[in-house]
Amino acid sequence: MRNAIKLTTAVLAAGALTFGLSACGSSGSDSASDTSGPLVVAASPTPHAEILNYVKENLAKKAGLGLEVKEFTDYVTPNTATEDGSVGANYFQNQPYLDDFNKKRGTHIVPVVTVHLEPLGLYSHKVKSADALRSGATVAVPNDSVNEARALKLLDANGIITLKDGVGNEATPSDIAKNPKNLTFKELEAAQTPRSLDDVDAAVVNGNYAIEADLKPATDALVLESAKNNPYGNFLAVKDGNEDDPRVKKLAKLLTSAEVKKFIEDKYAGSVLASF
């Protein structure tokens, strides 16, 4: 989700998406201030928007919730739009990413309820196992600070590299203590990592982007993040002070319902894991 920092593609995408929001007129702003209107939620297409659209089509009407889903392909605009009131909530991120974003951007976004985990995985079109990576192989990793650290921790947990002791959620390749295969790391916008698989030896890919690229984390990943005690669950989030919006409370309840849990289990078959 350093997308906010490293740059050209992400900035252009964010700018285009922000323009798209502006072009929608006042309905987005009303979402954050007028609780009688529909709740507008910014979301990544997969699986977040899919889950929200399931709620919209199957559960929202009965619960008396008006719901509008707006899809975004970057990890910046959903938070900035939530901060400025263009949308009433967002659903795409985890706590380490949000903490980093709020700190660097001066935003005031807070989590409401955790819904699911998308396990981070290492994928390759060139080798069948992590052990088969050649000496000097190039591995693509997300370039935002939180997901890059997360990717490096995945490689460390599976013995591919060793990170320095005490490295936190801002680890970079400079924090690698041991690199027995002398791997080279190519830092890319998170959305670009699956598209790089023909050009690099392997790539660490976020779960949502893996699914969009027709990768199956449960079966295709060379190594996969464990769900046990995992801090990277994705949640519904709002601007601080909007947690008590009755629409937000209704959506939070629906997103953690038995119906949604079954939908996640049936549709994603272990590639997305319900966190409630």
Residue-wise DSSP of 205-260? E-HHHHHHTT--HHHH-SEE---TT-S--EEEEEETT-TT-HHHHHHHHHHTSHHH
Q: What's the pTM?
A: 0.72
CA distance 120 to 107: 26
Position of tokens 């924090």? 175
Mind listing the pLDDT tens digit for each residue in 203-227?
999 988 998 899 998 899 999 998 7
Mind listing the pLDDT tens digit for each residue in 46-91?
999 999 999 999 999 999 999 999 999 999 999 999 999 999 999 9
pLDDT (mean) for 96-114: 96
Residue 3 has pLDDT above 70, yes or no: no
Residue 27 has pLDDT above 70, yes or no: no
CB half-sphere exposure, 49, CA atoms < 13 A? 17
Q: Residue 259: which region, alpha, beta or left (left: phi > 0; alpha: psi -120 to 50)?
A: alpha
Mind listing the pLDDT tens digit for each residue in 149-201?
999 999 999 999 999 999 988 899 999 999 999 999 999 999 999 999 999 99
The SS3 assignment for 190 reads: helix
The DSSP secondary-structure symbol of 175 reads G
